[in-house]
Structure 1
Amino acid sequence: MTKKHGDMNVRGEVRKAPASRADNLKHAWQADRHTAGMNWSEAEAQFIRSRKLGIYGASKAVKPRTIEEYKWDLKQFFDFMRAHDVTHYNQLSEKSVLDYVEHLQSNGWSRATQRKYLISLKAFFRWVEHDPTCADMKMKSYRKVLPRIGKEIRRTFIPSVEQMEVFRQGFNRKVMWGLRDYTALCFMLDCGARIGEVCNLEPEDFKWDVGLVNLDGKTGERLVPFDKETSGQLVREWMRTRTQYAHPECRKVFINRFGGNCTPDTFRQSFEDNLSRTGLDKILGEDTISCHTVRHYFCTMYLVNGGTLHNLQRITGHKSLETLMIYVHLAQQLSSVAQEAARVSPLKSLMKQGPMKKRKTVVI
C-alpha cells in the first residue's frame, strides 16, 4: 500500500496519528486506577469470588453463610475507610488500619465481635497477598499490622439434667409444630446432631434395620447410631404426621408451617419461645438453651455416662480431639461433684445411722 506524502516526515518515516482526547483520558484513567488500586466495591467482589472458588489464599471454597459473614464483617471496615475519605485500596496506610482497630476496641463491641471482624479482615489481606492482580496494582497487605488474634476462650454453658427435662417437656406435643420441635430436640439429644444436619434430614437417610442415620452437615456426611425405641419411634410418628401437610416436592423430614423445608432459624425461634413458656429464661438469666447448647449437653453427658472420647468424635464429626477436650473437663467436673455429693450428703449419713431409739417418757 502506497503511503501518502502527508503521512511521512522529512526522513521518510511514517508519522503516527496524534492521540485523541478520548485516548488520553483512557490512558490517564488506567494509570490513575493502577496507582490507586481497586475501590472497595471492586476489592470486595474479587475477594468474595476467591473465597467462593477457594483460590488466592483460601484453603477451600467456603459455604454461602460464611460468604455473608465476610460481607458483613468487611462492610464495617469499608464504611470506616469511606468515612475517612479512603476510597481506594492504595490509599490505605498502616495508620488508617490501626485507627480502625482502635475504633473496634473503643466502640462498645464485645471481644468476640472484635475478634470476628479482625479474622475476616486478616482473610481479606491474605487474599491481597496471593492475588496476582493485586500485585500488578501494587496493593500492599497489612495483615501483619493487625494485632495477634488468640484463640477465643468461650464459656460453655451446660444446663442441668433437671433444666433440660423441663425444657424438653415444655413443647406441646398435642400441637403439630410442638410435636415437630419435641421430636427434633429428642433426636439431637440422642445422636448429637447439629441443627443444620437435622434440617437436611430426608427419609432415605434413616437405616431402620441397623439403627443408623446419615447426617449431612458442614463436616460432610457421616453415619451415626440412634435409638430406634426412643428417638426413632418419635421420628416415625412425626413422619406419619408430616405427610398431611408437606409440600409434594419437599423431601425433608422436618417441614415448616407452609409445608416446605425447615431452616435452623425455625428451631432457634421455637427454642426461644419454649424458654419463655417454661420460665427457664428467668432462671438461666444470661445463659440460654439454644440449638447448639443441646449439642454441648449431648457431648458432656455422653462422657459423664461413660462414653469414650474417640467414639464421641466419630458421632459428632469433630475433626480435632482438641475441640472435644472442653467436654472432657466439664464431664470430669460433673462426675467429681456428683461423687463427692453422694459421699458427703448429710441426709445419707443420717439415714445410715438408722432410726433413732424411742425414748421412754417418764410421767411424774
Structure 2
Amino acid sequence: MHVADAIEEFQREHKARGSTPRTVKWYGETLRRLLKDHLSENVEALTPFTLSRALNIAGERGIRPATLANYDRALRGFTAWLHGVELLPRDPMKAKKRPVVRWQMKQVATPEEIRTLFELARRDKRYADRNCAILALLAGCGLRAGEVASLKLTDVDWHGSAVKVSGKTGERIVPMDRTTQRLLRRYVTHGRRGNHPNVFLFSGRPIKAMTLTHLLSRMSDRAGFTRRITPHLLRHTAATTYLRNGGDVASLRRILGHATINTTALYLHLVPEDLQTKLERFSPLASAGVK
C-alpha cells in the first residue's frame, strides 16, 4: 500500500473511533506535509531514517518545539497503526526518542491590558458592540478563536447563560458570566446586522478565526503594547485567572474543552505570591489556631 493510501485509511480509522472531524483533518494534513516526499512510495519506505529526516526537515524551518512534538505524535500514531494492521513488520518510531519540550510559563494579559482593549473596542462606533462581545467570550469564557467564529445564534442559551461550542474535542457547554452575557446580548439585539445563522458577522458574512487574530493585533498596535495580544493569550488569561480566584482544575477542563486533565493542569503555574497566599489560607497551623 502506498503511503498516501495508508494515510487515508488511517483517517477513516480515526473517524470510526469517534475522533472529531478537526482531529481527522489535522492528522491527514500533518502526515501529508511531513511525508510529502514519500506519498507515492510503499509504506515500507517509512524507515527510522526517513521518519527522522522528515522531522529534522520540519525542525529546520524554525517551528516551535511544541509543534515539532505534535508532529512527532502524529507520526507515532500513524506508524503504530501501520504496525497494528500488519502493514509494517515493526513500528519504526518505537525506539526513537521523543523531542524534548521545555516547559514555559504561559503568558497572560494584565488587567490593564484587558481594560485598554475594551476601551479601544468601544471607540469603534461601527463595530463596538461586536468587538466587545468577542473580547468577552475570549477573555471571560476562554473560548478559542475558531469557537467564537463558528458560534451560531441557536448555540446561545440566554436563560441558562451558556453557549454551546464545537471545539477540538467535540461539543461542550460553556457558562457565561453576567458581563459576557450582557455584552453578547447587546450585540445581538443592537449591533448585529444580517440574517446569517452565525453570531459574529463581517459585511454580512461569518467572521473568520484569523480575522479575530488580526483584530487583536491591530488593537495591540493602537494601544502601544510591547507585545501582541492574541486570542489564545486571552484564553490563557481566562484559565489562569479562574484558578487564581479559587476555581478547580476539573471544572476548568470542562470549560476549556481539554481532552485530558493533564493539559489543563499546565495552567497550575501560579506565581510564588499566589502560592504564599494559599499557604496562609490552607496551612494546618492556621486551621489549628497556632499563634
TM-score when normalising by structure 2: 0.78
Tell me the amino acid that sits aligned with residue 30 of structure 2: D
Q: Give me the whole-angstrom Cα distance separating, in 1, the residues matched to 2:16 and 2:102.
A: 28
Tell me the amino acid that sits aligned with residue 206 of structure 2: N
Q: Give me the whole-angstrom Cα distance separating, in 2, the residues matched to 1:304 and 1:263.
A: 31
Q: Give me the whole-angstrom Cα distance separating, in 2, the residues matched to 1:107 and 1:312.
A: 34
Q: Deviations over 1:95-144 (max 9, x none)?
A: 43344445455565442333232222112212212335x2xxx6653121
Q: Give me the whole-angstrom Cα distance separating, in 1, the residues matched to 2:128 and 2:152.
A: 20
For residues 233-244 of structure 1, the aligned pairs below 5 Å read 233-241=182-190, 243=192
Deviation (angstroms), 1:147 = 2.3
* Match in the other structure for 2:21: 63
Residues 115 and 149 in structure 1, CA contact (< 8 A), matched pair in contact too: yes
What is the number of equivalent residue pairs in this alignment? 278
Q: Give me the whole-angstrom Cα distance separating, in 2, the residues matched to 1:144 and 1:76.
A: 21
* Match in the other structure for 1:57: none
Pick the structure with greater CA Rg.
1
CA gap of 1:109–1:191, structure 2 versus 1, over 3 A, is closer
CA gap of 1:210–1:79, structure 2 versus 1, over 3 A, is closer
Q: Give me the whole-angstrom Cα distance separating, in 2, the residues matched to 1:92 and 1:233.
A: 55
Q: Deviations over 1:266-290 (max 9, x none)?
A: 212211221122121xx12xxx321
Tell me the amino acid that sits aligned with residue 73 of structure 1: T
Q: Deviations over 1:121-179 (max 9, x none)?
A: 112212212335x2xxx665312143224566344111221122223322245433343
Q: Deviations over 1:205-255 (max 9, x none)?
A: 444344344444334444443233x22221122112355x313xx222212
For residues 186-265 of structure 1, the aligned pairs below 5 Å read 186-228=136-178, 230-241=179-190, 243=192, 245-247=193-195, 250-257=196-203, 259-265=204-210
Indicate which of 75, 79, 82 corresponds to 1:121. Answer: 75
Residues 202 and 253 in structure 1, CA contact (< 8 A), matched pair in contact too: yes
* Match in the other structure for 1:45: 8
* Match in the other structure for 1:335: 274
Q: Give me the whole-angstrom Cα distance separating, in 2, the residues matched to 1:78 and 1:216.
A: 29
* Match in the other structure for 2:223: 278
Sequence identity percentage: 25
SS, match of residue 176 in structure 1: coil
Indicate which of 16, 25, 31 corresponds to 1:74. Answer: 31
SS, match of residue 36 in structure 2: helix
CA gap of 1:221–1:51, structure 2 versus 1, over 3 A, is closer
Q: Give me the whole-angstrom Cα distance separating, in 2, the residues matched to 1:323 and 1:62.
A: 18
Tell me the amino acid that sits aligned with residue 78 of structure 1: L
Q: Deviations over 1:47-66 (max 9, x none)?
A: 33333333xxxxx32423x3
RMSD of aligned alpha carbons: 3.3
Q: Give me the whole-angstrom Cα distance separating, in 2, the residues matched to 1:80 and 1:235.
A: 48
Q: Give me the whole-angstrom Cα distance separating, in 2, the residues matched to 1:163 and 1:107.
A: 32
CA gap of 1:142–1:193, structure 2 versus 1, over 3 A, is same
Deviates more, 1:68-77 or 1:155-164: 68-77
Q: Deviations over 1:4-35 (max 9, x none)?
A: xxxxxxxxxxxxxxxxxxxxxxxxxxxxxxxx
For residues 12-27 of structure 1, the aligned pairs below 5 Å read none
Tell me the amino acid that sits aligned with residue 138 of structure 2: M
Q: Give me the whole-angstrom Cα distance separating, in 2, the residues matched to 1:157 and 1:131.
A: 42
TM-score when normalising by structure 1: 0.64
SS, match of residue 170 in structure 1: helix
* Match in the other structure for 1:131: 85
Structure 1 unpaired stretches of 5+:
1-37, 55-59, 340-364
Residues 173 and 179 in structure 1, CA contact (< 8 A), matched pair in contact too: no
Residues 215 and 221 in structure 1, CA contact (< 8 A), matched pair in contact too: yes
CA gap of 1:61–1:222, structure 2 versus 1, over 3 A, is closer
CA gap of 1:333–1:299, structure 2 versus 1, over 3 A, is farther
